[in-house]
Amino acid sequence: MDKSVADLAEAVAPITDGASVMIGGFGSSGIPFGLIDALLEQGATGLTVISNNAGAGETGIAKLLKEGRVARVICSYPRSPGSIWFEKRYEAGEIALEVVPQGTLAERIRAAGAGLGGFLTPTAYGTLLAEGKETRVIDGKGYVLEAPLHADFALLRAERGDPWGNLSFHATARNFNPVMAMASRHAVAEVRELSRAPLDPERVVTPGIFVQSVVEYGVRP
């Protein structure tokens, strides 16, 4: 089996207009900058972006927002220092925003990947973010029913990968990448080092079954 592809352009070629795209990363860590740049060049637009943040400065998701490629953002923390392009698009009413508590975001993504129909979480019970959602009281504690969150594609960043799609990560660059690999129909991983030899099975964090293509991008941001 060989899931490796020659370059970033080939890796993002299947992404179509209007697709939902999960993008790994938290802050500046674990973001697939190479794949995002390739997606910009590729031209897909009207995207739904699912990510923890909504980009900062002029790179990554901020660049997708700047170029008007994003119709909808699902995230937990859109506002960060330097998130100017998100703020511009949001204030102008050019993008739809769904704010999801961070743990609920991770678990909705995991639930999708694990084939679950949803889960009950105490997070957000009694708050604005639970309005209109089904609730349940179990042993005196309130819970909110949350739905799984699927995506057409996931763009991931990992430290090492092999042709089988196995991935290992570096420090806090792991974050949302493993769950997003599970929840998307087509997960693309940018890896700093693509090993031709198989990774040590004991070191594999994301098993290759969740990954559809791997591309080497040696730049560490």
Partner 1 sequence: MTVLSLKSLTDAELAARVARDIPDGAYVNLGIGKPTHVSAHVPEGREVIYHSENGILGVGPTPPAGEEDVELIDASKRYVTPAPGAAYFEHADSFAMMRGGHIDIAVLGAYQVAETGDLANWATLDDKFPPAVGGAMDLVVGVPTILVMMRHVNRDGSPKLLKRCTYPLTGLGVVRRVYTDLAVLDVTPQGFRLVELTPGNSLDAVRAVTGADILT
Token pair listed for 102: 């961070």
Task: Give the nearer residue to partner 1 in terms of CB position, either 39 or 130.
Answer: 130
Instruction: Tell me which of 78, 161, 165, 208 binds partner 1, using CB under 8 A.
Output: 78
Task: Give the nearer residue to partner 1 in terms of CB position, either 163 or 221.
Answer: 221
Instruction: Tell me which of 44, 47, 70, 124 binds partner 1, using CB under 8 A.
Output: 124
Q: What ranges make up the beta strands (E) of 15-165?
A: 20-23, 47-50, 70-75, 96-99, 119-121, 135-138, 141-146, 151-161
* Interaction of residue 218 with partner 1, rule CB under 8 A: no
Token pair listed for 92: 């102008």
Task: Give the nearer residue to partner 1 in terms of CB position, either 153 or 169.
Answer: 169
103 contact partners, CB below 8 Å, separation of at least 6: 121, 123
* Interaction of residue 220 with partner 1, rule CB under 8 A: yes
Instruction: Tell me which of 14, 27, 57, 163 binds partner 1, using CB under 8 A.
Output: 27
Query: How many residues of this chain bind partner 1 (CB under 8 A)?
Result: 50
DSSP string, 125-175: TTSGGGTTS-EEEETTEEEEEE----EEEEEEEEEEE-TT--EE--GGG-T
Footprint of partner 1 on 125-184 (CB under 8 A): 125-129, 169-179
Residue 182's nearest CA partner among 163, 203, 201, 209 is 209
Do residues 133 and 168 touch, judged by C-beta distance below 8 A?
no
Task: Give the nearer residue to partner 1 in terms of CB position, either 5 or 24.
Answer: 24
Question: Which residues here bind partner 1, judged by CB under 8 A?
Answer: 26-30, 52, 76-81, 86-87, 90-91, 97, 99-104, 106-107, 109-110, 121-129, 169-179, 205, 220-221
